[in-house]
Amino acid sequence: MQSKSIAMTKVERPTSDARQAVLMHIWEKLFLYAGRLLIFAGLAFVWWAIVALGWVDKLFISTPQDVAVFLYQNFSNELVPNMLATLLATLIAFAMSGIFGIMAGLLLVEVPLLKKLTDPFLTAFNSMPRIALAPIFILWFGIGLPSKVALAFSLGFFIVLTSTFAGMKNIDPILIRLSRSLGCSGWQQFTKITLPWAVPSVFAGLKLALIYSFLGVVTSEMLASKIGLGQLIMYYSGILRMDAVMGILIVMAVVAVALTLIADSIEAALLGSWTESSASTKA
């Protein structure tokens, strides 16, 4: 067959222009990071200026230099152990949310009757303000690790469950038609079509659950806890140490960003090659 390659769109391949493109990319990145640093510095400057000019009392918002001093002096003896305690609870809650959320999601897809039976209860529980459960968990589990994990899990579990269920349910009907016409067994359809189809959606749920687990743990710590960033913030705001409160907030933000970045890079490594422009997979 005389196969002239006609009207082919090129798949990205390294060409002579590729190096140029990579270089451009690096410059763009550099510019971006420099810009962000500048914004950060600008915000710190404004913060410093409004206190220095006497517009806002230092008592309410502290100053950037005081916060920096606090962070430096208390980093290893106070911040790190508390951060680790918070992180540990977050990760345990996240892992439990992931495992049980995915399993429950799959179960509800596979057993529609169960889904119908439990639907109103799940909706009711899921729309309940979970923070209101914190006192109960503290009563049940005490003020240690388990009560933090319980509150965070009550948030993360439903997120993962919902995204798993939705991911399995929104499968492209043409793939089910393909599966039937090829004669896939139920197991083949599940493992080769429905499950991989749901993976991006499950991942999106997991990423959200990670951040919500962090939120749940910190909230629980703020209500009652022996250790953790949330507990630390309550303590320092009680004694009007705004430099410490601001410093801890910054630590929390850094932790949240780090968690997100790690999750993003794991997702990109696992799914990046086939999901990058998932819109184009639809006809």
Partner 1 sequence: MARYETLREDELASDRKQVVVEQVSHSFAGQMLAVDEMSFTVGAGEFVVIVGPSGCGKTTILNIIAGLMRQQTGEVIVDGQAPRAGRHDVAYMFAQDALLPWRKVIDNVLFGVEIQTGSRRPSREVRENAESLLSMVGLSGFGDAYPRQLSHGMRQRVALARTFLMPSPILLMDEPFGALDAHTKLMLEQGLLRLWDRDKRTVLFITHDLAEAICLADRVLICTARPGKIKSEIEIDLPRPRDINQLQHDPKYHELYQKIWEDMSLEMQM
Binding site for partner 1 (CB under 8 A): 1, 3-9, 11-12, 172, 174-175, 177-178, 180-184, 188, 192-193, 196-197, 199, 271, 273-278, 280-281, 283
Q: How far is the CB of 9 from partner 1 (least distance, A)?
A: 5
Q: How far is the CB of 174 from partner 1 (least distance, A)?
A: 5
Q: How far is the CB of 69 from partner 1 (least distance, A)?
A: 51
Structure tokens at 198: 């749901």
| C-alpha–C-alpha distance, residues 225 and 135, integer Å | 12
Compare residues 107 and 171 and give the one whose CB is closer to partner 1.
171
What distances in angstroms separate CA 225 from CA 75, 109, 241, one per listed residue? 20, 38, 19
Q: How far is the CB of 187 from partner 1 (least distance, A)?
A: 11
DSSP conformational letter for 281:
G
**Degrees, nearest 5: CA angle 133-134-135:** 95
Q: Answer whether 265's CB lies under 8 Å from 118's CB.
A: no
Compare residues 179 and 231 and give the one whose CB is closer to partner 1.
179
| C-alpha–C-alpha distance, residues 142 and 231, integer Å | 15
Compare residues 183 and 238 and give the one whose CB is closer to partner 1.
183
Compare residues 202 and 215 and give the one whose CB is closer to partner 1.
202
| C-alpha–C-alpha distance, residues 54 and 45, integer Å | 14
Q: Answer whether 181's CB lies under 8 Å from 126's CB.
A: no
Q: How far is the CB of 268 from partner 1 (least distance, A)?
A: 14
Compare residues 180 and 226 and give the one whose CB is closer to partner 1.
180
Main-chain dihedrals φ then ψ at residue 15, nearest 5 degrees: -115, -170
Compare residues 3 and 16 and give the one whose CB is closer to partner 1.
3
| C-alpha–C-alpha distance, residues 120 and 244, integer Å | 44
| C-alpha–C-alpha distance, residues 202 and 101, integer Å | 10
Q: Which amino acid is at 196?
A: P
Compare residues 44 and 184 and give the one whose CB is closer to partner 1.
184
SS3 state at 7: coil
Closest C-alpha to 247, from 79, 21, 58: 79
Compare residues 83 and 102 and give the one whose CB is closer to partner 1.
102
Q: How far is the CB of 283 from partner 1 (least distance, A)?
A: 4
Q: How far is the CB of 207 from partner 1 (least distance, A)?
A: 19
What distances in angstroms separate CA 178 from CA 131, 274, 282, one per listed residue? 46, 20, 15
Q: How far is the CB of 201 from partner 1 (least distance, A)?
A: 13
